[in-house]
Chains A and B, each alone.
Chain A
């Protein structure tokens, strides 16, 4: 009995210690993110889009759009991308062996014809069946290939691209008119060292979309996307910003990221053996340059926005979150030599170390702690007073962090409606009752799927962009 008591007490101690350290790190991230944003917003406001459009400083970009069964949204998205404000760009849509009419709707709507284009296989991918272009849209190239997954489609896009930079954008996402100009800014400041820049992802559900553009920003009215809105704000405006400032950013969202083509080719492009291709390529870049002692930079730009559809049902959200967890674990396992290794700088010690401790070990310990609560009460390891005090502390701290992220949101998005802020505030309180716990459960499920070797993405539901999405 005394051995069991000691084990329970030890595990409880682990849970408390982990939560305490995590809380301190969150606070630190908050301060770092605030400093970065304060510094950044003055500099960002100096980059006049008109100057960037007309002065010739903006480097040409190939926008890569991998598409698999996207017949609902693909035409509107391609049209929206072709209308972006940017001096020199091409849009390469890669139809990754869709089983629906993705290619057919593109051919019909955009008047595509089969064309030839000479290209070189710098990175591996499945066979290309055909290339399509249109005299009406000289910036557009559509690639039809055998299905090989998102990484494979992006690799095909890299091979077909002819510009020094490529921007990976999800087919169900929308970019703001000036997003490319904003995300390009770090490349103008550091054209040699910059290898990748990430933009911010915002939830489009609830916004009004006209002609492939978000014309009125509003919060989702459904609870699940609303909860994800506050989650995205916290993830991008606290964690991503802080990691970027500390040179430890390990993820550039697959929905919107700008990369130097030559750097991506050097690391072999996107990997096929992971479902978290966005994290994997960033980790590979860190590893490549650190191992060769070459100076490089990666940045996150908070005011460059990409709008994405957040899952509206628990089933789809669960598939997304378990996939994210699996992808992260695959990358961590593949690059385990980097974890806590000072040779890899902040990316290894801080970034990889954090993911290992708080995204792999953390959920397991937290879950164990939850399971042990009844036993701990029974054995007298914890008392009701202690339990309530701790619950109050973690709850108020969680809400405090979410509220602080709204402060950061206000620094970036100057036109948020006060009503929306109040709604976000409310959801930052509500997410503590069930949503966070569910997320933790899905993380554990992701860990289990990784350990049992589950592969694949699982089906994602696409909603046609209507006049108003999610209303």
Chain B
């Protein structure tokens, strides 16, 4: 075959491929649009029917009789969207309806689908069913080869407050290398008061620092005061790098290209997580630790501690917060000024004094914040 003939054939091939692609695109899209339109209409009528039968469950057999085989899929989608938006008794009624219509069993079967996204969808919906067989199925799904399915199962179990072992959850999620994601953080936060003891155990166990950070964050958000001593103990654990910054830590936490195997030193991040948790817990027992944190060598910790001090509402923090108005980091000065303002009259007086002082840093931030809040300087 000559060179030109080859080029002509390639061009012809490309033209043919283009035509084929375009035909597929246009035809498939028109079919898809029709299907979308049909589904939308059916979903609307199903929703109307479902809402009717939720209130009058005695007519359920009549409702079931009206359903077509493909309606089950649409109903699962509908209820999956509806459930997070309803609460209490109404949510219970929706779950009851789903159970009666066999949708729970459909989802249980779908947990074995060869397609991971179907397994993940099923796990998410099953998070509304408290039956032991559902919990057992979700527990098994925690070992799914696909990360997303494991995360959905963990979220479902946490939602059901049915996580049997936090250590087990940590072990299963740790291997997915997603423990740093905010999604995992949210799962830990939703574990609820029942998991407090175990989460406190995690803080004292020999697990990687980032898992301890997750546990500290979760304890703060669960809001159980039992967690305060464990968090304070962690805060006072020696061995922190005095001149470290968060960035330097992150650079060394096995995330550098040069040496990924370098051991992680996340004590700064952990300390920060503890102060954040204490800010949410607002417990007077944390006062001394927070006062100490106001002098922390890491500016991020000082800034967070200033915020925490305002949450605690203790005037004992005022002298140290006044000192922080001279801090070299603007964000520390800003949080200290905000904290002083939130502490009421005594704090405002401290800000007024600083605004009139000769220190440019303190005067700028104090004066600026007071003007922002509408206080004449």
Interface-lining segment among A48-56, A71-79, A311-319, A438-446: A48-56
In this assembly, does B46 line the interface, its C-beta being within 8 Å of a C-beta of chain A? Answer: no
Complexed CA–CA distance, A400 and B337 (Å): 62
Given known A-B contacts A292-B251, A293-B256, A192 and B180 have beta carbons under 8 A apart: yes
In this assembly, does B241 line the interface, its C-beta being within 8 Å of a C-beta of chain A? Answer: no
A397 near B186: Cβ-Cβ < 8 Å = no
Complexed CA–CA distance, A46 and B181 (Å): 15
B85 near A50: Cβ-Cβ < 8 Å = yes
Interface-lining segment among A114-122, A207-215, A299-307: A114-122
B186 near A56: Cβ-Cβ < 8 Å = yes
A407 near B7: Cβ-Cβ < 8 Å = no
Interface-lining segment among B28-36, B90-98, B161-169, B191-199: B28-36
B36 near A389: Cβ-Cβ < 8 Å = no
Chain B, residue nearest A345 (CB):
B257
Interface-lining segment among B51-59, B223-231, B285-293, B363-371: B363-371
- Interface positions, chain B 321-377, Cβ under 8 Å from A, are 330-331, 334, 337, 364-365, 368-369, 371-372
Contact of B186 among A57, A122, A293 (CB under 8 A): A57
B117 near A407: Cβ-Cβ < 8 Å = no
Given known A-B contacts A117-B372, A403-B22, A425-B22, A189 and B28 have beta carbons under 8 A apart: no
Chain A, residue nearest B17 (CB):
A400
B183 near A116: Cβ-Cβ < 8 Å = no
Q: How far is the CB of B303 from chain A (nearest CB, A)?
A: 12
Q: Which of A51, A59, A389, A425 has the most C-beta atoms of chain B within 10 angstroms of its own C-beta?
A: A389
A403 near B25: Cβ-Cβ < 8 Å = yes
Complexed CA–CA distance, A406 and B365 (Å): 54
Given known A-B contacts A116-B372, A396-B11, A421 and B25 have beta carbons under 8 A apart: yes
A294 near B250: Cβ-Cβ < 8 Å = yes
In this assembly, does B185 line the interface, its C-beta being within 8 Å of a C-beta of chain A? Answer: yes
B330 near A410: Cβ-Cβ < 8 Å = no
B181 near A191: Cβ-Cβ < 8 Å = yes
In this assembly, does A404 line the interface, its C-beta being within 8 Å of a C-beta of chain B? Answer: yes
> Could you say which residues of chain B place their CB within 8 Å of the CB of A59?
182
Chain B residues with a Cβ closer than 8 Å to the other chain, count = 55
A417 near B186: Cβ-Cβ < 8 Å = no
Complexed CA–CA distance, A293 and B258 (Å): 7
- Interface positions, chain A 276-328, Cβ under 8 Å from B, are 292-295
A118 near B251: Cβ-Cβ < 8 Å = no
> Could you say which residues of chain A place their CB within 8 Å of the CB of B26?
418, 421-422, 425
Dominant SS at the B interface?
helix
Complexed CA–CA distance, A421 and B25 (Å): 8
Complexed CA–CA distance, A135 and B73 (Å): 47
> Could you say which residues of chain A place their CB within 8 Å of the CB of B12?
396
> Could you say which residues of chain B place their CB within 8 Å of the CB of A386?
4
In this assembly, does A193 line the interface, its C-beta being within 8 Å of a C-beta of chain B? Answer: yes
B25 near A293: Cβ-Cβ < 8 Å = no
In this assembly, does B148 line the interface, its C-beta being within 8 Å of a C-beta of chain A? Answer: yes
Complexed CA–CA distance, A151 and B256 (Å): 31
- Interface positions, chain A 105-120, Cβ under 8 Å from B, are 115-120
Chain A, residue nearest B32 (CB):
A414
A414 near B256: Cβ-Cβ < 8 Å = no
In this assembly, does B14 line the interface, its C-beta being within 8 Å of a C-beta of chain A? Answer: yes
A188 near B18: Cβ-Cβ < 8 Å = no
> Could you say which residues of chain A place their CB within 8 Å of the CB of B255?
192-193, 294-295
Q: How far is the CB of B26 from chain A (nearest CB, A)?
A: 5
Given known A-B contacts A57-B186, A293-B256, A417-B33, A400 and B14 have beta carbons under 8 A apart: yes
> Could you say which residues of chain B place their CB within 8 Å of the CB of A122?
330
Complexed CA–CA distance, A189 and B176 (Å): 12
In this assembly, does A399 line the interface, its C-beta being within 8 Å of a C-beta of chain B? Answer: yes
In this assembly, does A28 line the interface, its C-beta being within 8 Å of a C-beta of chain B? Answer: no
Complexed CA–CA distance, A414 and B29 (Å): 8
B372 near A393: Cβ-Cβ < 8 Å = no
> Could you say which residues of chain A place their CB within 8 Å of the CB of B365?
118
Chain A, residue nearest B147 (CB):
A43
Contact of A57 among B14, B21, B117, B183 (CB under 8 A): B183
B330 near A390: Cβ-Cβ < 8 Å = no
In this assembly, does A42 line the interface, its C-beta being within 8 Å of a C-beta of chain B? Answer: yes
In this assembly, does B49 line the interface, its C-beta being within 8 Å of a C-beta of chain A? Answer: no
Given known A-B contacts A45-B117, A404-B21, A389 and B11 have beta carbons under 8 A apart: yes
B84 near A50: Cβ-Cβ < 8 Å = yes
Q: How far is the CB of B117 from chain A (nearest CB, A)?
A: 5
In this assembly, does B178 line the interface, its C-beta being within 8 Å of a C-beta of chain A? Answer: yes
A120 near B257: Cβ-Cβ < 8 Å = no
B18 near A189: Cβ-Cβ < 8 Å = no
A407 near B25: Cβ-Cβ < 8 Å = yes
> Could you say which residues of chain A place their CB within 8 Å of the CB of B120?
46
B14 near A393: Cβ-Cβ < 8 Å = yes
In this assembly, does A437 line the interface, its C-beta being within 8 Å of a C-beta of chain B? Answer: no
A416 near B29: Cβ-Cβ < 8 Å = yes
Contact of B371 among A116, A292, A415 (CB under 8 A): A116
In this assembly, does A190 line the interface, its C-beta being within 8 Å of a C-beta of chain B? Answer: yes
Complexed CA–CA distance, A143 and B368 (Å): 16
- Interface positions, chain B 128-183, Cβ under 8 Å from A, are 148, 152, 178, 180-183
A and B contact pairs by CB, cutoff 8 A, 8 listed: A116-B372, A118-B369, A294-B250, A396-B14, A399-B18, A406-B25, A415-B36, A416-B29
Q: A46-B117, A116-B371, A395-B11 are in contact. List 19 more A-B contacts (CB 8 A).
A: A45-B117, A46-B152, A55-B186, A118-B337, A188-B181, A190-B180, A191-B180, A191-B181, A293-B258, A294-B250, A294-B251, A294-B256, A400-B18, A406-B21, A407-B24, A410-B25, A410-B29, A415-B36, A425-B26
Give residues in A with beta carbon < 8 Å to B.
42-43, 45-46, 48, 50-51, 54-57, 59, 115-120, 122, 187-193, 292-295, 385-386, 389-390, 392-393, 395-397, 399-400, 403-404, 406-407, 410, 414-418, 421-422, 425
